Amino acid sequence: MFHLQRNVYLDNNATTRVTPHVARAMSAVLKRRFGNPSSLYRIGRDAAAVVEDARQVVATTIHAEPDEIVFTGSATEANNQVLTVLTDIHYPTRRKIVSTPIEHPSVMATLAHLEGRGVSVEFLPVDRLGRVVLAALDAAIDTNTFLVCCMLANNELGTIQDVVQVTRTAHARGVTVLSDCVQALGKMPIDVRALGIDYATFSAHKLHGPKGVGAVFVRRGAPFRAFLHGGHQEAGMRAGTEGVHNIAGFAAACRALPTVLPRMGETARRTQLLADELRRLKPDIVINSPQQGCLPNTLSVTFPDVTNTVLMAALDLYGVAVSAGSACSAGETKPSHVLKAIGLSDDAAHQTIRFSLAEDTSVKDLRYVLRVLRDHLDGKTPAIRALRASQVDHHFLFDDANYILDVRFWHERKLLKGLPNSHEASFVSFKKYVHHVPRNKHVLVVCMGGVDAIPIAYALKSKRCDNVSFLLGGVVGWRIAQPDLYARYAGTNVTAIEPRAPRRARPRLPP
C-alpha cells in the first residue's frame, strides 16, 4: 500500500467548500454591517441594504423578481414552510399532494407529518434510474389535489426530472407545483419562468456558500404565509432576524455562478472518466445514475460484495470523502429510501457509494481515489473485523483482553444503555482521547447503529492499534440479539474517558 496522502473531497452534494471570495464577503458583513436590518437608523439600514442587494442577486440567478425571494434558515425550513403553509391554506377543501418517492428527507418527513394531519399523499412511480414516470401524473391528480411536489435534481442519483412537463400537466389541472432545486443550483442553469414552477427551494451551502441559509421562490400571486411566529421580517413571510452575513455569502456564491457553470462540461467528463475507470476496476459494478439527464458531478455506484460503510471508512483513512448513501437514523442503518425506490435490494443499497465532484476536482484527484479503491478491493488496505452481536457474549464482555470503546453521542446514550465494561468518548471528540485506548488489547468500537464505529476503528488502526474491530448493528443490534445480557448488564461498569459535561449550578432565586 502506498503511503502518499491526499485529501480528495467527493461529497459535494452533502456540502461544498466555502470559497475565499464568499468568506471575504461574509467577513466584511460581519465586521462592518453588524446592524439589525429591521432597525431604522443608518447602521440598520446598511444591513438591510445587504439583504436587499442579495435578494436581487439570488433573484437574477434564477430569473425571478426580488419580491419573489424569501430567505430562510435552510432549504429544510423552506420545504417545510411551503408544504405546511399550502396545506393550511387548502385543507380541508383540498387535501391531496402528489409527489415522488425520491424527494429529500425534508420533503418526505414533512409529507409524512402532513399525512398524520389528514393529507393524502400519492407517490408517482420512478424507473431504475430515478426518472419519475410522468405518464402517471395526470391520473394521480384529482379534484382534491392542491400541490404537485417534484424535485429538479436528485441528491443521491443526480437524476434530473422533466419539471417543465410536470408544471404543464399540473397547471392544466389547476394545481400548483413545488420543486426542490437545492441540488440543481450551482450545477445547471435555473430559470424558474422557463420551468413554470410556482414554488422552488434553494440552499446556499450546495454552491460554495455558507450553511444555515436557504431561500424560497414564491411566484408572484402564488399564495404564501409565514411559518414561524415572531417578527415581520422578509415582508412578513419569515419571522426571525436575518442572518445578514449568511445571506451575503449566498449572494456571493450566486455571483460566482457565471464562472462556475461553464466548468460543468469538464466536470461531467471527469465524472464519466471515474465511471469508466471504476468499471475497469470492478466490472460487476452497477451505475445507478443516468448517463443522460443527470447532474454533471454525481455518480451513484453499487459495488457488489463490498459494504459501503466499510469502503467509506477505508477511503476516509486515505483522505477521501464520499457518501455511503444510507442514513443512520434512530440507531438503525436504514437503506436509503431513494435507492429502495429505484428497486435496489437492501443489500445492494448497503453496497452503494455516492461520488459527487466539485468543478475543481482534478484528474489527479480521481486517479488517487481509484488507487485507494483498487488497494481496498485487493485487500491491501488495513482490514477491520466486524463482530456480529452474537459474538459479543458473556465471555467476550468479561474477558480482560478486550477493551470496548463506545463512541455514541450523549443523546444516543440517553436512549439505550451501553455495553458493560465499556469506555465512553463520543464520535466527535474521540480524537482528543485516542491515547486512552490501550494498544495491547483487542479494541471493539461500538456505536448506536454500526456506522459511526467504522471510521473510528480505521482511525485507531492508523494510530498503531492493530487489533481492532467494530460491532455490526451497534448497541441497537446487540440489544436485540442479546436481550438477556442487555437486561442484566447494560450500563454497568461504564467508564467515561471523555469528561461528562459538568452540571450547571441551579440559579438561586432571589428571596
- Give, for 225, the enclosing helix (H) or strand (E): none
**With binding defined as CB under 6 A, does residue 158 bind ligand PLP?**
no
Q: Which span (29-37, 51-59, 73-81, 485-493) binds ligand PLP, by CB under 6 A? A: 73-81
Closest CA to 61 of 50, 69, 49: 69
* Number of amino acids touching ligand PLP (CB under 6 A): 12
Restricting to residues 214-243, name those near ligand PLP by CB under 6 A.
Answer: 214
354 forms beta bridges with: 300, 323
Does 180 contact ligand PLP by CB under 6 A? yes
Is the CB of 180 or the CB of 234 nearer to ligand PLP? 180
Strands of the sheet with 145-149, listed across from one edge: 69-72, 214-218, 199-203, 176-180, 145-149, 96-99, 120-123
Residue 151 or 254 having the CB closest to ligand PLP: 151
Q: Pull the grid cell for residue 398.
A: 468479561
Separation of alpha carbons 385 and 382, rounded Å: 10
Taking CB under 6 A as the binding criterion, the range among 26-34, 176-184, 375-383, 426-434 that sits at the site for ligand PLP is 176-184
**Residue 155 binds to ligand PLP (criterion: CB under 6 A):** yes
Of 80, 87, 99, 106, the one binding ligand PLP (CB under 6 A) is 106
Nearer to ligand PLP, 151 or 369 (CB): 151
Q: Does 351 bind ligand PLP (CB under 6 A)?
A: no
Smallest distance from ligand PLP to CB 337, Å: 13
Tell me which residue of 358, 497, 493 sits closest to 436, measured CA to CA.
Answer: 497
Peptide bond into 20 cis (omega under 30): no
The correct pick among 86, 114, 182, 285 for binding ligand PLP (CB under 6 A) is 182
* Grid cell digits, residue 180: 426542490
Residue 363's φ and ψ, nearest 5 degrees, are: -65, -35
CA dihedral angle for residue 489, residue 309, residue 452, residue 382, rounded to 10 degrees: 90
User: Are β-strands 422-424 and 495-496 bridged in parallel, bridged antiparallel, or unpaired?
Assistant: parallel
- Binding residue (CB under 6 A) for ligand PLP from 161, 179, 203, 309: 203
Q: Which of 76, 80, 100, 323 binds ligand PLP (CB under 6 A)?
A: 76
β-bridge pairing 69-72 and 214-218:
antiparallel
Residues in the chain: 511
191's CB contacts (< 8 A; 6+ apart) are: 62, 63
Distance CA 413, CA 23 (A): 37
Q: Is 149 in the site for ligand PLP (CB under 6 A)?
A: no
Stretch that binds ligand PLP, among 56-64, 68-76, 286-294, 473-481 (CB under 6 A): 68-76
Closer by beta carbon to ligand PLP, 81 or else 155: 155
Using rule CB under 6 A, residue 110 touches ligand PLP: no
Query: Interacting stretch for ligand PLP, rule CB under 6 A, among 36-44, 177-185, 240-248, 342-350?
Result: 177-185
Minimal distance, residue 100 CB to ligand PLP, in Å: 12
Which one of 96, 104, 350, 376 is in contact with ligand PLP (CB under 6 A)? 104
Q: Is 12 in the site for ligand PLP (CB under 6 A)?
A: no
Helix H or strand E segment including 61: helix 42-61
Helices (H), 378-494: 394-397, 410-415, 453-462, 474-481, 483-489
Binding site for ligand PLP (CB under 6 A): 74-76, 104, 106, 151, 155, 180, 182-183, 203, 214
